[in-house]
């Protein structure tokens, strides 16, 4: 039985997972990834540690697979990679040594640069070329900062790549400097209209095109492994996608209008809008959903910066809430949030507001406020942000969603799922496999190597765990949303529509 191995290189950790032809998880390994916060709004990773953690998970995974096979390693048909997207890594192609810490997608050090570019009238062209907005979230201004202020020199040996490119470089022993269209489309440097790096955007941000990776379709052979992990040499890396696009694919959202939300460190709502690149929609992003080799499929995206991260913050400040499950239990002990609203603007706010200067707030506190109220309000904030994005998305796309498929770590939180269904007024479906980012990467790799014969066969692997229906009436949900929007008015630097 051939297996597909997926490497899910996320923001707070790396998971390696092996799946069989039925899409079932056979074995997995996970290691956390250290975060570095050298100052307010600054978030960094050590590229060495990204690689070391990846190697550790692959070695542990292979040990588990050998144990299951009575000491024999089963055949690995392909490797798929999915990754935190906008994080940028700079390294020397001659020595394979990183030239600086990686700047993480949450890092907002380039906020003033983005504001200056917008003031200079660049936003319309950026929207047209890239489908994105001028935000420190994306890789382009991070790359510019590394070259201008980060001590990185633009010489012939420079490599500037997203995390997928860094991992393929290391897996191949320096033989492959590649990326896929989904990751490229998150950089501010890629032209959605031509499917190539954008010379005007590279010129605008003073990023040399020669330092960027070769862009390939999401399914296809990228490279072969060198003898750098327990997988050994000669295994094909054949599927690559940014984590949110991989989740969309793994959720089986292959039809136009299907949508998913991944609840991880942040939350990311994507809607499949087909093979025609749409015009920019206010408050949303346009991105490549995937490319199977016959041209791109596009998605609208709403990017929410802090959902699971807000729960993580809460575990550190509330006594008796040592993990996310304890936060859910604490929140359930309150019938409602007691009028408390939590706005998790720890690193600004993303879609549909795009305000990097917004900061978090807790409002509505009284002497009657208990930790349970704050816990419930934090979980409610995850659902309320989802509603804001979905409303912008359905208005812009001119179509409603029949259901929202959810995944990620917080998707196991039944209270959250129920509140999301109430806020949206539509069904929320949770699959059996909630780690759909890894599953989507595995599907892309397996399609390229013939493990699955078609996207339809891969999509048929999706299995429903539970469907959450909205409760009767809208008054309570709309009242909570109204209080949420009033709270946003207090912290945003732009009007709330």
Model confidence at 68, in pLDDT bands (50, 70, 90)?
confident
pLDDT at 310 over 90: no
Residue 2, pLDDT score: 82
Share above pLDDT 70 across residues of the chain, in percent, rounded to a whole number = 98
Mean pLDDT of 70-91: 92
Between CA 243 and CA 327 the distance in angstroms is: 26
Between CA 491 and CA 348 the distance in angstroms is: 10
Model confidence at 72, in pLDDT bands (50, 70, 90)?
confident
Residue 264, pLDDT score: 78
Residue 248, pLDDT score: 94
pLDDT digits (tens, 9 = 90+) for 351-406: 898 888 888 999 999 999 998 999 999 999 999 999 999 999 888 888 888 789 99
Model confidence at 341, in pLDDT bands (50, 70, 90)?
very high
Mean pLDDT of 434-458: 92
Residue 270, pLDDT score: 94
Model confidence at 1, in pLDDT bands (50, 70, 90)?
low
Between CA 256 and CA 157 the distance in angstroms is: 42
Residue 95, pLDDT score: 96
pLDDT at 320 over 60: no
Dump the DSSP string for 70-126: TT-PPPEEEEEEEE-SS-EEEEETTT--BSSPEEPTT--TTHHHHHHHHHTT-HHHH
- CB of 266 closer than 8 Å to CB of 260: no
For the chain, which residues make up each domain, given as ranges? Answer: 3-250
In terms of average pLDDT, the best of 8-12, 174-178, 409-413 is 174-178
Q: Is the pTM of this model over 0.75?
A: yes
Residue 238, pLDDT score: 96
Model confidence at 435, in pLDDT bands (50, 70, 90)?
confident
Residue 315, pLDDT score: 79
pLDDT at 281 over 90: no
Of 8-17, 29-38, 168-177, 355-364, give the lowest mean pLDDT range: 355-364
Bridge partners (DSSP) of residue 468 are 428
DSSP 414: H
pLDDT at 495 over 70: no
Residue 329, pLDDT score: 84
Model confidence at 497, in pLDDT bands (50, 70, 90)?
low
Strand-strand pairing, 13-19 and 25-32: antiparallel
Mean pLDDT of 445-460: 92
- Residue 19: Cβ within 10 Å count: 27
Residue 266, pLDDT score: 82
Output the CA torsion sign for 440, 470, 401, 123: negative
- CB of 28 closer than 8 Å to CB of 18: yes
Pick 421 or 72 by higher pLDDT.
421
Please identify, in words, the CATH class of the domain defined by 3-250: alpha beta
pLDDT at 488 over 80: yes
Share above pLDDT 90 across residues of the chain, in percent, rounded to a whole number = 70
pLDDT at 321 over 70: no
Please compute, for residue 397, the number of CA atoms within 13 A of its CA located in the half-sphere on the CB side: 28
Bridge partners (DSSP) of residue 197 are 190
- CB of 234 closer than 8 Å to CB of 173: no
Nearest of 398, 402, 406, 342 to residue 369 by alpha carbon: 342
H helix and E strand count, the chain: 15, 23
Between CA 37 and CA 35 the distance in angstroms is: 7
Residue 494, pLDDT score: 66
């Amino acid at each position: 039985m051939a297996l597909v191995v997926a490497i899910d290189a996320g923001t707070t950790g790396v998971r390696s997972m092996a799946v069989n032809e039925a899409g079932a998880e056979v074995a997995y390994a996970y290691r956390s990834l250290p975060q570095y916060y050298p100052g307010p709004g600054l978030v960094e990773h050590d590229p060495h540690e990204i690689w070391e953690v990846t190697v550790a998970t692959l070695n542990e995974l292979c040990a588990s697979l050998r144990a299951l096979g009575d000491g024999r390693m089963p055949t690995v048909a392909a490797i798929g990679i999915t990754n935190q997207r906008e994080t940028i890594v700079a390294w020397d192609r001659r020595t394979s040594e990183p030239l600086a810490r990686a700047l993480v997608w949450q890092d907002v050090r380039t906020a003033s640069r983005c504001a200056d570019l917008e003031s200079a009238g660049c936003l319309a062209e950026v929207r047209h070329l890239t489908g994105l907005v001028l935000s420190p979230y994306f890789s382009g201004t991070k790359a510019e900062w590394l070259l201008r202020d980060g001590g990185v020199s633009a010489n012939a040996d420079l490599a500037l790549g997203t995390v997928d490119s860094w991992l393929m470089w290391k897996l191949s022993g320096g033989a492959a400097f590649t990326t896929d269209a989904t990751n490229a489309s998150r950089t501010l440097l890629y032209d959605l209209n031509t499917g190539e790096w954008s010379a005007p955007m590279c010129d605008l941000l003073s990023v040399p095109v020669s330092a960027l990776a070769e862009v390939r379709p999401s399914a296809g052979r990228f490279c072969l492994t060198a003898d750098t992990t327990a997988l050994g040499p000669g295994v094909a890396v054949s599927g690559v996608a940014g984590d949110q696009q991989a989740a969309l694919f793994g959720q089986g959202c292959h039809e136009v209008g299907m949508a998913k939300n991944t609840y991880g460190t942040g939350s990311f709502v994507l809607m499949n809008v087909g093979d025609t690149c749409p015009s920019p929609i206010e408050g949303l992003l346009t991105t490549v959903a995937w490319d199977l080799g016959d041209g791109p499929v596009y998605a609208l995206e709403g990017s929410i910066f802090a959902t699971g991260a807000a729960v993580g913050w809460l575990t550190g400040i509330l006594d008796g809430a040592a993990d996310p499950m304890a936060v859910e239990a604490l929140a359930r002990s309150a019938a409602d949030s007691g009028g408390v609203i939590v706005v998790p603007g720890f690193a600004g706010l993303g879609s549909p507001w795009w305000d990097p200067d917004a900061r978090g707030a807790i409002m509505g506190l009284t002497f009657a406020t208990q930790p349970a109220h704050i816990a419930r309000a934090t979980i409610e904030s995850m659902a309320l942000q989802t509603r804001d994005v979905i409303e912008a998305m359905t208005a812009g796309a001119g179509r409603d969603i029949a259901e929202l498929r959810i995944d990620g770590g917080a998707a196991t939180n039944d209270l959250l799922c129920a509140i999301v269904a109430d806020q949206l007024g539509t069904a929320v479906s949770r699959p059996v496999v909630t780690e759909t980012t890894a599953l989507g990467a595995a599907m892309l790799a397996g399609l390229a190597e013939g493990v699955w014969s078609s996207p339809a066969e891969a999509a048929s692997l999706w299995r429903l765990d539970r469907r959450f229906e909205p409760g009767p009436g809208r008054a309570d949900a709309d009242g909570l949303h109204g209080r949420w929007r009033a709270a946003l008015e207090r912290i945003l630097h732009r009007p709330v529509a």
